[in-house]
Amino acid sequence: MSSTAYGISEPISTGGPTELDVVRNRELEKFLSDAGLYESHEEAIKREEVLGRLDQIVKMWVKNVCRAKGFNDDLVHEANAKIFTFGSYRLGVHGPGADIDTLCVGPRHAMREDFFGELHRMLEEMPEIQELHPVPDAHVPVMKFKFNGVSIDLLYANVSLWVIPEDLDVSQESMLQNVDDQTVRSLNGCRVTDQVLHLVPNIQSFRTTLRCMRLWAKRRGVYSNVTGFLGGINWALLVARICQLYPNASPSMLVSRFFRVYSLWRWPNPVLLCPITEGSLGLAYWDPRRNYKDRQHLMPIITPAYPCMNSSYNVSTSTLRVMMEEFHRGNEICEAIEANKASWESLFEPFPFFEAYRNYLRIDIAAESDDDMRQWKGWVESRIRQLTLKIERDTVGVLQCHPHPGEFSDKSKPFHHSYFMGLRRKQGANPQQGEQFDIRATVEEFRRDVYAYLFWKASMWINVCHVRRKDLPDFVFPGGVRPTQPAKSDSRSVTRSLGSAKTSSPDGATFSRKRKHDEVNTGFSSKESLAMSCSDASSPGETRELKRVEADVGDTLSSATLVDNQAEVSIKSPLPVPASGAAVTETITVVQSAELTVGQQTGSHGVENLGDELELTNGVKHFDGANELQTEPPTPEQIVGAATLEEKDRIGGSSPNVLQTESLEELEPIELAPSSSIAAAAFVVPQKPLIRFNFTSLRKTTEST
């Protein structure tokens, strides 16, 4: 059993699996195998052959570059480039058909222009290369293509070396000397992957757990960095932290602890695998005390390699809400599995996105050819997250979007894709009588941004419109067949997963409760505008009562309300959009065992079928969503209400090594404009007192309301 301390704190528990855990672990591994997560031996060999051939090609390319630039024969002979892998392939969690993230490291005189010029020309002439698509202007420039059917994402980094040795170690900090920002970002993928593998106590348990969480995230619709959820590296970092906190746990235990910990995590406290270091090269790193943009991040998951950065800056208020609901659902099902009242299949049940809401935003795009569609699709997908942020900004965070991470296609319409967003009112927002949202200008701004594409062609087209659930096209449903009846229960509730099994929560409540669907009344005022009134379609599951767990509520307590809400939304043609609302939200808090605590983000805990509905018109009342600073270290009870006494005893300590200078400023939600109330001087602790309450008293308040 592991006795070494990993990460920034002592483990929560060093206990190993029991006999029941061993049985559950075998069941989980069988489920993963049956789900087809492991590639065949033949496919593995093919990938190795492709990587070997690609390495030969880049070596040939760098010699051609040296020869073209007039270097002597000796330097041409010594010229070298090397291929590295990172991402899921390097971590050992890739599945059949997955792409391979690769990095080409070249010498200082082989410039990025040569990479997207000469190397692109060489690849274009090779018959084994298909779907070659260079993206030189991306945040991390990349060349995408298929090599004998294997998808490749190829980055480039030209380091400050004249000759690239075959035993080059990119994890060395010296690799970042005298290089541009694009090279630093390109190198960071390999450096982070290697650090993750170095920082986990058991690589095999980490890999099995990560495979499990990746499958779960994809089935539940929260695996997509580009739409504001989490991507592969984000899930790897979250899993790695759980492995550090439970170093001797089996994968089945780690999956359960994953949901237990992150369902209680107090965002935006960061997830850290190791202390953040300033380094010796003066590169910018994640530090919310000094960087305003870092204070806007809602769900910081910090990379372990220098320079440490937030890997999840794409997360918005809306997508964080969705993920927290999923963490709560996962925790409830894992508790039922441990009580032998559920199976692993229930945890991985796909999220019924098109049954969860009554109102959707539909984004249609089209192009004239396959190449144009590929470029246009990539650009539009990168902007959809901005639409979510713009709607949150212009409605003061009250109207929230749930983007579906994938696209849908009508087979009768070539080069045509559709994207969908579920819409609803923010849970816990204080509804005012007659409140109205007007997002016509918001949608027009989004359209202008999309049409500002540098390589836009007249055949590239986009349209946005509102669609009710009953009017959804058939091609969004499996097999093109519309379900006979939409689900009426909470799509994130465990009821449908567990069948008739019911488990009592700590306060005696039943394990699942109904979600109230949003009621919609839609009226057309003209061809140019559409007004909608809707209430929430998907409040989360039951309100959990965990004794001795306290939540810092701050100013957001005054905006909490215990009624279902209605909202009116106006969208300019062809862009009608709805909104919806739900019940109160609370935070059940988990704080990383470190001195760095940077505030609080309300999670999403629902209350069943509450109260009367209120119609909203005439503007949106501003609500203070600023996060309060927590200065005291977390208590053991703030981590895991259901944890064992041994676990509670081990989590209260703090780590003095993580950014332990001054305390941190109050954080600002990402979608809101900077508040004038922020103190000009840094590191001033807000003087407003924190409001604390116990969940026992909260339940009584809820019931009396």
State which amino acid sits at residue 418: S
**What pLDDT was estimated at residue 663?**
30
696/705 Cα distance (integer angstroms): 15
268/265 Cα distance (integer angstroms): 9
Q: What is the pLDDT of residues 476-511, one digit of tens each?
A: 998 888 887 655 444 455 544 454 343 333 333 333
Instruction: Say what the pTM is.
Output: 0.73
578/571 Cα distance (integer angstroms): 9
**What pLDDT was estimated at residue 492?**
56
**What pLDDT was estimated at residue 358?**
86
191/526 Cα distance (integer angstroms): 56
Look up tokens 């007192």; give the residue.
689
395/437 Cα distance (integer angstroms): 7
**What pLDDT was estimated at residue 395?**
86
**What pLDDT was estimated at residue 116?**
96
**What pLDDT was estimated at residue 167?**
93
Q: What is the pLDDT of residues 178-192, one digit of tens each?
A: 999 999 999 999 999
**What pLDDT was estimated at residue 684?**
35
672/34 Cα distance (integer angstroms): 45
Reported for 215-219, long-range contacts at CB under 8 A and 24+ positions apart, including other chains, are 215/32, 215/35, 215/37, 215/348, 216/330, 216/347, 216/348, 219/348, 219/349, 219/350, 219/351
Beta strands in 536-621 (DSSP E): 550-552, 566-572
Under-70 pLDDT residues of the chain = 1-4, 429-436, 485-705
Please give the C-alpha separations between residue 107 and each of 139, 156, 176, 234, in angstroms, as whole numbers: 21, 11, 13, 30
**What pLDDT was estimated at residue 436?**
64
Up-side HSE of residue 68: CA atoms within 13 Å toward CB? 13
